[in-house]
Structure 1
C-alpha cells in the first residue's frame, strides 16, 4: 500500500509539473539555458539581430522581452512545442517613410529524450499580429517568418517553412501556418528568420506571438510491451525473493 501511495504521489507530481509550465525569458536561453516540452529538449540557442533607423537612437534587441513557454498538450500530433510571447514592442515597427524594419534570426537544437518518440515533422504558426494602417491605397507593412530545419545548424535539408501576414497597396496576405514533414529524427536544428516591417509613417506592424509544434512517432506495440516487461522484471527483482541475489 505504501508503494502504491508513493507511486500515485509521484504521478500526481509529474502531472502538476506538466500542467504548470512556466515561461522562460529568451535572454536566459541565449545564455546557455534550455527548455523541455514533453520529451523534447531545446538547447544551443543563438541569435542575430538588425534594425533600421526607427527614430530610436541605437535600438538594441532585448531578448528579455520575449518569453518562451513549453507546450505539453499536443499529444503525438501536433506534438509538444514552444510558444513565443513578445512584449514591450520588441517586434513592432512604425514606418519611417522609406522602409523601417526589425530582422531577428533565432536558432536552436531539438533533442529527443525518449528514443521511441522521434520527431517526424514540425509546424509554425503566427498567432499574434497587429497591422493598423491607413486605407490610402499605398501601404506596405507586415510580418514574415522563414524557418529552416536541418540535421546541422543553419541547414535546410529537412524542410523549409514560410508564414506571413502583410498588406501591400490594400492587398492582404494571410498565410499564417505552414509545416514540413521529414523522416523521423532524434535530433534536428531549427533556424527562423523573423522580419517585421512598415513603410508609411501612419502604419505599424506588431508581432506579439508565434508558436511551433513537433509531432512525433508513436511507439510500436512491441516496443511498449518490451518496456512494460522490463519495468515489471525490475519491480519483481526488487520485491520478490526469487529474483533476489543470495
Structure 2
C-alpha cells in the first residue's frame, strides 16, 4: 500500500483569486510574450536549462502562468504556475530519476510611484507516493530561486522551497513557503531552478503548481529640506559658472 501526501495549503485560495484571469502557456512567454499583474510587468522570459534522466523533451506548453491581481501591497500581485500532463512528474528507476528545469524572467513596475520591496515563493500543489515495504525513501520536489538587479545575478537574495521524503525511517521535509527581502527596486530578475526526483521504482514525485508574489511599496520621495538643499546647490553652481564667464 502506498502513502500519498499532498501540499494543498493555498491551492483553493489561488483558484478563487485567479478566476477570470487569462492564463498564458510558458511556451508563449519563452517566445517573447509577457504578463501583467497589478502594476507589475513580467517579461524577458528565457529557458536556461533542461535535463531529464529518461531523455524526455521539455514541453513548455504544459505549464500555464496566470496573473494574480489580488494581494494589495503585501503579499502583492504575482503569478500562479500550473503544471499539467505530468510535465514535472517522475517515477523512480532504481538509480536516480529526475527532471531538472531552470528558467528566468524580469519583474518590473509599471507605476513609477511604486517599487518592488520583496518577493515570496510557495509550493501550492504536489504529491509524493512511496511504498513503505522497501524501507528506503528518497523522492521530492525542490525549487531554488535567486533574485538579482540584472539578468544572471543573485545579489538581491535567494530562497528555497521543498517537499520531499528522505531516509529510513522516513523524514518528511515540508518547507513549502519562503521569502526574500531586499531594498525597493524598480525591476528585479528572477531565476528558478526546479528539481523533481525519485529513486525507488515504486515511488513517484509530482509537482503540479507553485505561486510567486511580489510585495510593493511607494517610491521614496525626497523630503522638502533635501529638495531645498539640492536647489541651492544647483543655484550656486549656476552662479559660479556665470562668474567665470564674466
- Structure 2 length as normaliser, TM-score? 0.79
Matched residue SS, 1:217: strand
Q: 1:21: Cα distance to partner?
A: 1.2
Matched residue SS, 1:155: coil
Q: Which residue of structure 2 aligns with residue 139 of structure 1? A: 137
Q: Distance in 2 between matches of 1:154 and 1:124?
A: 19
Q: What are the ranges of 5 or more consecutive residues in structure 2 without an aligned counterpart?
A: 1-17, 223-246
Matched, 1:95 2:96: no
Q: 1:112: Cα distance to partner?
A: 0.7
Residues 2-37 of structure 1 deviation map (CA, whole Å, 9 limit, x = unaligned): xxxxxxxxxxxxxxxx97211000000000000000
Q: What are the ranges of 5 or more consecutive residues in structure 1 without an aligned counterpart?
A: 1-17, 223-246
Matched, 1:21 2:21: yes
Q: Distance in 1 between matches of 2:100 and 2:163?
A: 15
Contact 1:76 1:218 in 2 (8 A): no
Q: Distance in 2 between matches of 1:205 and 1:19?
A: 28
Q: Which residue of structure 1 aligns with residue 9 of structure 2? A: none
Q: Which residue of structure 2 aligns with residue 106 of structure 1? A: 103
Residues 111-147 of structure 1 deviation map (CA, whole Å, 9 limit, x = unaligned): 1110111000000000011001111330100000000
| Higher percent of residues as strand | 2
Runs of 4+ in 1 over 3 A off after TM superposition: 218-222
Q: 1:218: Cα distance to partner?
A: 3.6
Q: Distance in 2 between matches of 1:220 and 1:154?
A: 27
Residues 124-181 of structure 1 deviation map (CA, whole Å, 9 limit, x = unaligned): 0000110011113301000000000000112110010100000012111010000000
Q: Distance in 2 between matches of 1:32 and 1:194?
A: 22
Q: Which residue of structure 2 aligns with residue 73 of structure 1? A: 70
